[in-house]
Amino acid sequence: MPLKNQEKETPGVKPLPEVPLRALYKKTFGAEPASFEPLKGDGSARSLFRLGGGARSVIGAFGPDKLENRAFLEFSRHFRAQQLPVPEIYAEDQAQGIYLEEDLGNTTLFEFLSAERGAEIPQPVMAAYNKVLDWLPKFQAQVSRGLDLKVCYPRPVFDRQSIMWDLNYFKYYFLKLAKIPFNEARLEEDFTRFADFLLEAPADYFLYRDFQSRNIMLKDGEPWFIDYQGGRRGPAQYDLASLLYDAKADLPPETRVELTNYYLKTSGQKSAEFMKYYHAFVYIRIMQAMGAYGLRGFYERKTHFLASVPYAVRNIEWLLRNAELDVKTPELTACFKRIAASSYLRQFGQTRLGLTVRIMSFSYKNGVPLDDRGHGGGFIFDCRALPNPGRHAEYAQLTGRDAPVIDFLKKEPEVEKFLQNVFAMTDMSVENYQARNFTSLSAAFGCTGGRHRSVYCAEALAARIKQKYGARVELAHREIGGTPK
């Protein structure tokens, strides 16, 4: 179990479960523990302690909810019997709501990620995530291997009731408390359609429920799993969404794609069927988490929970641009767009999300590109007043990425003047967006054919922004093709 930032108790005042936990330790190991150290727990009502220095170091837990305790203990016994890496249970006193479990150390997957990461996710971290994803299908298979679902708490299945609880949790504790406007009747209609869609997904798996980086320990380089007491039967997509869209873990989009593909390969899931529902489960997982941030942060005034909100906002922004759902939820989507457009929600904590500038070249003959999945902001620059290399036979079959065209345009004073004006305007927005923690800005360059002038100018702006601001740039040339650079 992790030492999650020690939370000191009032000097001289023993926490309520200390006496029975010490007694259970002595009864189990034949000696008094030499130390009793309170640990900072998760968002639940459980209290965790490290008892050590005697026969061995163990984690003592006190949980006031006896049904939750029973679920954890029964799941632990079953998983151990199936040789899954979960803590051993040494002793329990369910009447007093206490138990002793194996001490798995202090390093969570999240802490390992935070310590190792740089501009990109390093290979040791990717290796750790791959190991975690090797185990996930084995947990998910436990429904067919005799797991007693009667001990699940509070529901044995991720059913309509579970879904509606999560959706209303999001509505009442996040949308209302964050003052995001919505039409309640239309939102409830969307919730019903959204739940209907989620319930179409196959649901014969063990759903861990809180499968995220703080609930995975690393011991001697291998993953161990904790905090599965909310598990129940459900769809496979939910736990992958929990892991890869864990807000503060802040995995880059390309890393999520790579890990999703790894999971699909190792689990044997059929890609098309799995992905049909996957992003809908990403959304509901994010909504459940945002409800928790709102309850703990806005309502209970535990403001450190709000530090995760900007990451969740950025995840929603990415989903709006990249994930097309097979269910229409216009009012819920409008709420997501209002969240993505909010400066207020991006300012919590010391978060610096990083800006992505999406730059495109296009031909006016094929229409102006629309930023209909982002916040709708950005620039469209008309390059048709610039000298046109396409009128010269020697350049006609080339593009603005080819050296002869680049040399031609570099020599034209009008092009240099145009770009200086472009740079002046975009610099203002880039600096403002970075200061406000906005994560997406678009700029599109159009010309007659979309092959020469617009391509050259798009490339020039991309190079400048990367060099001057270090921002992430996604560059695309609609008419000639071209991958992001």
Convert the pLDDT of each residue in 117-158 to its tens digit: 877 899 999 999 999 999 999 999 999 999 999 999 999 999
Q: What is the pLDDT of residues 300-359, one digit of tens each?
A: 999 889 999 999 999 999 999 899 999 999 999 999 999 998 888 988 877 777 888 999
HSE-CB of 306 using CA atoms within 13 angstroms: 19
Starting at the earlier edge strand, list the strands of the sheet with 356-363.
379-382, 440-447, 356-363, 472-477
Q: How confident is the model at residue 438 (pLDDT cuts 50, 70, 90)?
A: confident
AA letter at 366: N
- Going by C-alpha positions, the residue among 151, 36, 150, 148 that lies closest to residue 100 is 36
- Residues present in the chain in total: 485
Structural domains of the chain, ranges and CATH numbers in brackets:
18-102 (3.30.200.20), 109-346 (3.90.1200.10), 356-477 (no CATH)
Q: How confident is the model at residue 375 (pLDDT cuts 50, 70, 90)?
A: low
- Going by C-alpha positions, the residue among 41, 124, 138 that lies closest to residue 85 is 138
Cβ atoms within 10 Å, residue 322 = 11
Tracing tokens 């945002």 back to the chain, one arrives at 290
User: What is this structure's pTM?
Assistant: 0.79
State the first-to-last Cα distance of the chain, in angstroms, to the nearest integer.
42
Q: How far apart are CA 376 and CA 440, in angstroms?
A: 10
Res 1 pLDDT > 60? no
Q: How far apart are CA 261 and CA 257, in angstroms?
A: 6
Q: Is-contact 468 354, C-beta < 8 A?
A: no
Classify residue 216 by burial, with Cβ atoms within 10 Å: 0-12, 13-18, 19+: buried
Cβ atoms within 10 Å, residue 343 = 10
